Chains A and B, each alone.
Chain A
Amino acid sequence: MRKASQKSTLRKVFRYIRKNIPLLVISIILALITVATNLYFPILTGDALDLILKKGVVDFAGIMRIIKVALIVITVNAVAQWFMNICNNRMTYRIVMDIRKDAFRKMEHLPLGYIDAKSHGDIVSRIISDVDTFAEGLLMGFTQLFSGVATIIGTLLFMLSLNFKITLVVVIITPVSLFVASFIAKKTFSMFKLQSETRGEQTTLIDEMIGNQKVVQAFSHEDEARTKFEEINDRLEKYSLNAIFFSSLVNPSTRFVNSLVYAAVGITGALSAIAGGISVGQLSAFLTYANQYTKPFNEISGVVTELQNALVCAARIFELIEETPEKADAEDAYELENADGTVSIENVSFSYMPQQKLIENFNLLVKPGQRIAVVGPTGCGKTTFINLLMRFYDVNSGTIALGEEADDKQKKQTLYDITEITRKSLRKNYGMVLQETWLKAGTIRENICMGKPDAAEEEMIAAAKAAHAHSFIKRLPNGYDTVIAEDGGNLSQGQKQLLCIARVMLCLPPMLILDEATSSIDTRTEMRIQKAFLTMMEGRTSFIVAHRLSTIREADVILVMKEGKIIEQGTHEELLKQGGFYHMLYHSQFES
């Protein structure tokens, strides 16, 4: 089982290598040249040494000739090696770049259910640390594997030319070291996996604690956070030590096998020398080659551990890359041009978990330009409703359908099920301001122009003015080009919200979703924005999650939600008359 997964990981790695085949071929050729010159140089020096006999008997002219050849050989060797290194670097980092690219692309297309459920730290750890470790292993693999294999073949040929029998001894014993290496590698695989997983767990904690450091400090929770961290850290220490120590046994073990090979060559050689099989000179050459021959086995076995670790990390990355993405839009999915604002919700049922029912048999027909207010106590599931409208989550049963603005007014209006529309065109038709403000690291300008990157300067400023963000932006050190740091940096919650509103004001799609869009904005500013909101909502279907009565009262339909379910539905007057939950909610407002 484990072996199978390892193999399939390897196969996936090869898929990435395949794109770089030209580089791979060049690298292998360069490795061959490097090894050939490496092996040839000792022969040249040997030849030169043979010309230095004794006092007065030295063939200087011969030595000079050899030196000239040797100079060429070492130059070729150096150049080939340099280029080989560059090829390997290029190959490795290109592969790694491709993998990160694919991982990120996948992340952008994962269902929200996955992202909501998975720890962000763990995903980050996969894309950053795991890819890093993989890169290191891969690079080592490339640099040492080819030249190692080439050296083995080269020395084998040289040895065969000397003596067949002793070569046989070497060839038979040496694979033992590979066997040992793969044995240890197999045993340590699970240790590396444990190490990687614990690392992921630790990253999750770091992400959570360091990411919310301000809360940690506010509660003087530093010591507790540390205790938790130390616990994982200690575990990581144990697992790392196991993984590193046991995997590092590969090298000494294979070297031990090599020593055995060396001793075996020594004894068989010596015995056959006594029997007159080979000369002493040949024996010493043999011993040198036996050494040369076994060295790459060491290196390769060292690489094996490194690769082992790399494979574990690769497997974690591929797990992410292979996660099932959001169901793709059907090929014939409709490209909704301009929604007319009709939203028809029929028999919709939805729940995050099958055992916990939320929305059931929900029906609502929204006519173009209507204002739908969603009210209810905190935590009643208003966000779920938005998740469905935007298709962040798909309904379990029933349909949500949108109408399209027809060129020909006479034509009967058709409704398009949102699952049959491309997500892109669906979302383009909604403008959304969420209570939880999110800004990307970048300039204010980039953030406002997110929905309309080609907006003119005046357009952008007009939107910012409408959102009443212009005055505070102007006071920032670089105005619209002020770079805001991760997570909004020093901006206040309210300022962030103003920017989010400006962002929607700029692109003005036919339908709006305002989820507590003004919760962090002071009321004077809000009053002013409200006017802009009203103009904005004119002729646009809007879904508004709000507390403020003025907005709610003027809504065409009020949905009253409680515990994830829609319990009442109607206009303000109708609902008050009913004397139900809304009635109670409304009257509680001025009690204090």
Chain B
Amino acid sequence: MKKILVFLKDYKKESVIAPLFKMLEAIFELIVPLIVAQIIDIGIASGDRNYIFGRFGVLIILAVIGLACAVCAQFFAAKAAVGFATQLRSALFAQIQKLSFADLDQIGTSTLITRMTSDVNQLQSGVNMVLRLFMRSPFVVFGAMIMAFTVDVKAALVFVVAIPLLSAVVFGIMLITIPLYKKVQASLDRVLGKTRENLSGVRVIRAFNKEEEEIKEFNESNEILTNMQLLVGRISALMNPLTIIIVNAATIIIIWIGANQVYSGVLSQGDVVALVSYMSQILVELVKLANLIILITKAVACGNRVADVLSTESSIEERTRTDVQAKPDAPLVEFKHVSMSYGKSSEESLSDISFVAKRGQTIGIIGGTGAGKSTLVHLIPRFYDASKGSVLIEGTDVKDYPLEQLRNKVGIVQQKAVLFRGTIAENLRWGNADATEEELWKAIELAQASEVVRNKEDGLEHMVEQAGRNFSGGQRQRLTIARALVKNPDILILDDSASALDFATDAKLRSALKSIAGERTIFIVSQRTSSIQHADMIIVLDDGKAVGMGTHEKLLESCEIYREIYESQFKKEERGASHA
């Protein structure tokens, strides 16, 4: 919770002022009965109408002051709570940006989204309520106890017993329900996950006529959530009756003790009336408090979930922030005995890979599904850390680079072609915010996407909808390639990113890339030998091991797997084509 509360630090002033005004208001409220007593004791007794009118005026003034205090308190509480939530969301968003790919795989997207939205909202209401009431209630409760002591010590001991009992009930219920509320939020995660999944998979679900089953599954998750909420509700529902029963019982005991004290002449009847009324003041506060406690409990549970995210150390540790200078004569990319496994226990996805890639070279990576091709290229921009060995860029281990410098050197086009809402130009400028229109067009031409953009009436200013769904798969791929090119990176990685392109476009793309190789190193991951056969070096992966490395010609001679791949696609089609 401490991790969370620091976000109130910019609102220290507000967080102090709000409860202060609340207490002031309470004090003015306590004065009111005294004024009324004066009206009765002095005004009515002497029949002085002017005095009564005067006191009436005082009551109105008190009401106005009370209103002013309350308005101030509400304002400062709202300001602190909303500001707190805003900063918290902002910090969360920043934190999530820092998480590594491995962390993201592990935590999952849905829960991050609920934490940023639903959980933070709960926390906001919690803080708001606490500032408004939490100071006031203990103030009134303990105030009442102190007042009781001034009346009679023996009777006041009832308060001394009752108040800890009340606290035990309140905190006990809180302690029991906090973990349960955490479970409620976790069930909510599942409901959210199901909803997202059904939106993204709508075509497949309908194609398989799975709507009813999906509804059934959603309803199950929904019911689990509801049952969880009901369970927590049943326990929280105990709070009010339990506290009220304690207070009422205490009142009865006070009457009994009071009766004895009066009988023996220690107290007067009025004193007992006062004691009873102090107890009932506590009661009134507790009724208010009960709702508050539920809110706070929820907020604490949500706060813990948020704190979990904030305290997740990114598994990619940034060792330095100062830019690294290239070592002279070092190759642009070098792998030294690199192995990598995703989980601690799982099998190695890459084992003992070593190679050197120089500037101007094109490196082809080929291999079966799941052979570790993507894993290999993901190590270059340090999306994951190698579990053994090291990846060097310009002679320095990627772990010794500041992440931003490292990733600015690398342009990667991922398998899943993702575009974002905004114009085409905005999307393309992702890697380089200052790119001129000319540079954008150059990248578009290279990526064979010019016809995609030119066909739009508003060209570069054409709006891309969510997830780029107003573009086809191939169009998206070409635009993502253009996006990487705009970045003008030293190392360009195409991770099987031409899969949705037809052969003609793919061929054009390859010859365009060749023209810009120059000082760069280009990695092309592909299933097609045609895409990589002209590469300076081809790495053939099989089950995470490099089973062949060299040029197309050399590999055809020496590497059986490569030959198989090549023959499986190329020869046959070539033969077919020559038939035609």
Contact = CB atoms under 8 A, between A and B. Distances in A.
A519 to B, nearest CB: 4
A123 B196 CA distance: 9
B34 interface: no
Contact of A256 (B63, B198, B263, B291): B63
B269 A53 contact: yes
Contact of B191 (A54, A119, A128, A521): A128
Contact of B383 (A67, A207, A214, A249): A214
Given A520-B369, A590-B574, A378 B472 contact: yes
A486 B101 contact: no
Given A49-B272, A97-B223, A427 B206 contact: yes
Q: How large is the interface on B (under 10, 10 to 19, 20 to 34, 35 or more residues)?
A: 35 or more
B32 to A, nearest CB: 7
Given A218-B414, A490-B105, A523-B565, A260 B504 contact: no
B86 A236 contact: yes
B407 interface: yes
Nearest to A96: B226
Interface in A200-248: 202-204, 206-222, 224-226, 229-230, 233-234, 236-237, 240-241, 244-245, 248
B423 interface: no
B52 A427 contact: no
Interface in A419-434: 423-424, 427-428, 430, 432, 434
Interface string A531-556: 00000000000000001111001000
A465 interface: no
B63 A259 contact: yes
Given A97-B226, A237-B86, 7 more contacts: A52-B262, A55-B265, A60-B259, A93-B230, A472-B369, A486-B108, A526-B568
A17 interface: no
A457 to B, nearest CB: 20
B515 interface: no
Given A284-B40, A589-B577, A55 B263 contact: yes
Contacts of A133: 121
B82 A523 contact: no
Contact of A378 (B67, B505, B529): B505
Contacts of A283: 40, 44
B113 A210 contact: yes
Contacts of B40: 270, 280, 283-284
Interface stretch (B242-250, B328-336, B391-399, B545-553): B242-250
B118 A129 contact: yes
Interface stretch (A7-15, A106-114, A156-164, A333-341): A106-114
Given A213-B97, A226-B97, A274-B49, A440 B262 contact: no
Interface string A75-115: 10111011001100110011011001100110111001001
The list of the 7 closest CB pairs from A to B, nearest first, reads A378-B474, A494-B369, A85-B237, A252-B70, A89-B233, A259-B63, A55-B265
B86 A234 contact: yes
12 contacts: A45-B252, A85-B236, A104-B198, A128-B192, A273-B44, A280-B44, A438-B200, A441-B197, A472-B369, A487-B109, A494-B370, A549-B576
B580 A472 contact: no
B339 interface: no
A360 to B, nearest CB: 18
Given A128-B191, A430-B207, A217 B418 contact: no
Contacts of B370: 472, 492, 494-495
A210 B215 CA distance: 26
Contact of A240 (B124, B256, B265): B124
Interface string B53-92: 1011001101110110011001101110111011001100
A217 B259 contact: no
Interface string A238-280: 0011001100110111011001101100110011011000001
B344 interface: no
B461 to A, nearest CB: 17
A90 to B, nearest CB: 6
Interface stretch (B172-180, B351-359, B475-483): B475-483
Nearest to A376: B502
B208 A427 contact: yes
Interface string A369-397: 00000011111111100000010100000
Given A81-B241, A217-B101, A590-B574, A212 B418 contact: yes
Contacts of B381: 218
B517 interface: no
A74 B244 contact: yes
A494 B510 CA distance: 22
B114 interface: yes
Given A129-B117, A220-B404, A74 B249 contact: yes
Interface stretch (B151-159, B318-326, B437-445, B463-471): B463-471
A82 B241 contact: yes
Contacts of A60: 259, 263
Contact of B374 (A450, A492, A503, A590): A492
Given A108-B214, A520-B499, A527 B256 contact: no
Contacts of B86: 233-234, 236-237, 240
Given A120-B199, A267-B52, A440-B197, A101 B222 contact: yes
A82 B43 CA distance: 45
Contacts of A435: 473, 500
A67 B256 contact: yes
B350 to A, nearest CB: 13
Most B CB contacts (10 A, CB to CB) among A70, A108, A572 go to A108
Interface in A476-499: 477, 485-487, 489-490, 492-495, 497-498
B233 A74 contact: no
B93 interface: yes
A526 B403 CA distance: 38
Contacts of A121: 466
A485 B49 CA distance: 79
Contacts of B223: 97
Most B CB contacts (10 A, CB to CB) among A57, A451, A485, A523 go to A523
A334 B32 CA distance: 78
B569 interface: yes
B452 to A, nearest CB: 6
A249 B71 contact: yes
B237 A252 contact: no
A58 B263 CA distance: 6
B59 A266 contact: yes
A94 B222 CA distance: 10
Given A204-B466, A213-B96, A245-B78, A109 B262 contact: no
Contacts of B237: 82, 85-86, 89
A224 B433 contact: yes
